[in-house]
Amino acid sequence: MARIFAYIVHKGGVVDDSAFELAAAARKIDAAASPTAILTGWGADLDAACKTLGASYPEIWKIANEALTYPNAELVRKALVKVLPSGGIVLVPHEHFGIDLAPGLSIKMNSAFVSDVLDIVGVEGANLKVVRQEFGGQVSAHVRCDISSGAVVTIRPGAFKAVEITPGGGLVVDKSPDVGTLAAGRRYLETVVAEAGDVDITKYNVLVSIGRGIQEKDNVAIAQELADALGAAVSCSRPVVDAKWMEKSRQVGSSGKTVKPKVYLACGISGSFQHLAGIRGSPFLIAINKNPKAPIFQVADVGIVDDILEFLPELTNKVREMRSVA
């Protein structure tokens, strides 16, 4: 069985949740797997991140290089190519860094590539069988990947339940000397922080979240009224921002904010993974959508097939009634 590596995303000494999800994926590829965590970075933050993984991974490869202080995928790839043995399976989270790193890595490692994996069926001979989605999540597909010369696999964040690999151990192996100097045709300049909107949706316990089903800008008021009645905030999915019906600061998703509310009302949201990726902490998810086949109903706790433009105002009225009586 090929060796499995998990690329760990970390920031400010804190390890991303995906680290433990990758461990779960590794276990699904090979139940007896002993995956190696691999981290790049520099200084105290890198060391702290490595330490956090102590209980979860038996072996941790550390690549410390000043050029990698900021994770520039072009440089990280060059470093990994120098360090990773051929033929292994490299797991990477499917988010903005993984998308940047993984395809090129597979070419340089001369291994196969399969992205955005939701589930792993198992190894059949020289092939790894996985589950992916297509057409914005409307259909699923089984995909076979020839791993005989290794593979780079990106894993959908949140698709696998986080696990710790027992026994842990956390043996840190410093692979930095193998890397040497790093240079690439792309240089990181700075990060421009998105303008803070008036409302910070990450601070709310209840979110009324709207998607394309709200149909037009004027209808956003319908969601706002419900949010006001509940003491919640209105958040949204990407199409609503693209259509300029709400500010970017309200977007929940992989390219928006990550939220951890207690209750999440998904109104007229189809449930694309990029959106769901922004919902962490397993809130109670209520989905209201006209389309009974919307993917959101697969991940929601409670679902209602109804027209949000009619359902929400009535819900708002009921909330107000309750509040006035209370």
Partner 1 sequence: MKLELRNSVEVNVEILVCVRRVPDTSENEIELNSAGNDIERDELVYSINEADNYAVEEALQIVARVGGNVTVATVGGEDDEEVLRREMAMGANHGVMISDEAFSGSDGKGIATILKAFVQKGHYDLILTGVQAEDGGAQVGGMLAALLDYPFASLVNSIEVLEGKKLKVSREIAGGNKEMNEIDLPCVLSIQTGINEPRYVGMRGIRQVAAIPIPTFSASDLGLGANAVGETAAKVKRVDYFTPSLGKGAEILRGSREENIDKVLELVAAKGGLK
Partner 2 sequence: MEGIQSAAQVTSWLVTGRILFLTIHLLGVVCFSLIVAKRLVPLVRAERDFRFDQPWVRLGRVLKFWLGQWKHPRYKLAGTLHIFIFAGFIVLAIRAFSVLIIGVSRNFVMPGLSGRAGPIYDIITDYAATIVFLCMVIAVIRRLVFKPARYAVPARYGKAHTADAIFLLSLIAILMVADSLFAAARAAAQSQSSQSVEVLAAFSLPWVLQKALVATALPILGGLYFGAYLVHELTFYFLLCYRPFGIQFHVETSLFNIYFAKLDREILKPVRWGVSDEHLDQVKSFGVKTFEDFTWKHMLDFYSCADCGRCSDNCPSNAVGRPLSPRFIGIKARDYAFQHYPVLGRVNNGAALIGSKDSGSIYSEDEIWSCTTCGACEEECPLLVEYIDKIVDLRRGMVDEGNVPQSLQKPLKALESRGNPYGKMEKKKAEWANAKEFQQTCRVKTLDNRNGAETLYFVDSITSYDNRMQSIGRATAKILNHVGENFGILGAAERDSGHEVRRFGEETLFMALRDHNVDAIQASGVRRIVTADPHAYNALKHDYKDVPPVEHISQVIAREVKAGKIKFNPVENESSVYTYHDPCYLGRHNQIYDEPRHVLDAIPGLKRVEMSHSRDRSFCCGGGGLMLFYEPKEDQRMGVKRVKMAAEAGANVMVTACPFCMVNIEDAIKVAGMEGKMTAIDLAELVDQQIARECPDLKEEQATEIKECVTASSNRPG
Within 204-233, the residues that bind partner 2 by CB under 8 A are: 216-218, 221
Question: What's the closest the beta carbon of residue 256 comes to partner 2, in angstroms?
Answer: 20
Looking at beta carbons only, is 36 or 270 nearer to partner 1? Answer: 270
Which of 19, 254, 279, 308: binder of partner 1 (CB under 8 A)?
Answer: 254
Name which of partner 1, partner 2, none residue 313 binds, using a CB cut-off of 5 to 8 Å depending on partner kind. Answer: partner 2
Which of 228, 299, 309, 320: binder of partner 1 (CB under 8 A)?
Answer: 299
**Chain center to CA of 269:** 18
Size of the site for partner 2 (CB under 8 A): 6
**Backbone conformation region of residue 158, classed left if phi is above 0, alpha if psi is from -120 to 50, else beta:** left
Question: What's the closest the beta carbon of residue 321 comes to partner 1, in angstroms?
Answer: 10
- 217 and 245 in contact (C-beta within 8 Å)? yes
Subset of residues 233 to 252 that bind partner 2, contact rule: CB under 8 A: 243
Subset of residues 156 to 185 that bind partner 1, contact rule: CB under 8 A: 184-185
Distance (Å, rounded) from C-alpha 48 to C-alpha 59? Answer: 15
Distance (Å, rounded) from C-alpha 126 to C-alpha 135? Answer: 28
Does the footprint of partner 2 cover residue 195 (CB under 8 A)?
Answer: no
**Three-state DSSP string of 83-129:** HCCCCCEEEEECCHHHHHHHHHHHHHCCCEEEEEECEEEEEECCEEE
Residue 172, beta-bridge partner list: 60
> Tokens 């409307």 sit at which residue?
138
- 39 and 29 in contact (C-beta within 8 Å)? no
Does the footprint of partner 1 cover residue 129 (CB under 8 A)?
Answer: yes
Contacts by 179-185, CB closer than 8 A, 24 or more apart: 179/63, 179/65, 179/78, 179/79, 179/82, 179/83, 180/82, 181/67, 182/65, 182/67, 182/68, 182/75, 182/78, 182/79, 183/67, 183/75, 184/72, 184/74, 184/75, 184/78, 185/74
Does the footprint of partner 1 cover residue 206 (CB under 8 A)?
Answer: yes
Question: What's the closest the beta carbon of residue 229 comes to partner 1, in angstroms?
Answer: 10
Does the footprint of partner 2 cover residue 318 (CB under 8 A)?
Answer: no
Subset of residues 259 to 288 that bind partner 1, contact rule: CB under 8 A: 262-263, 283-287
Does the footprint of partner 2 cover residue 323 (CB under 8 A)?
Answer: no
Looking at beta carbons only, is 112 or 179 nearer to partner 1? Answer: 112
Does the footprint of partner 1 cover residue 133 (CB under 8 A)?
Answer: yes
Question: What's the closest the beta carbon of residue 244 comes to partner 1, in angstroms?
Answer: 10
Q: What amino acid occupies position 296?
A: I
Does the footprint of partner 2 cover residue 48 (CB under 8 A)?
Answer: no
Tell me, residue by residue from 266 to 305, as one string, x for binding to partner 2 by CB under 8 A and - for no binding. ----------------------------------------
Name which of partner 2, partner 1, none residue 104 binds, using a CB cut-off of 5 to 8 Å depending on partner kind. Answer: partner 1
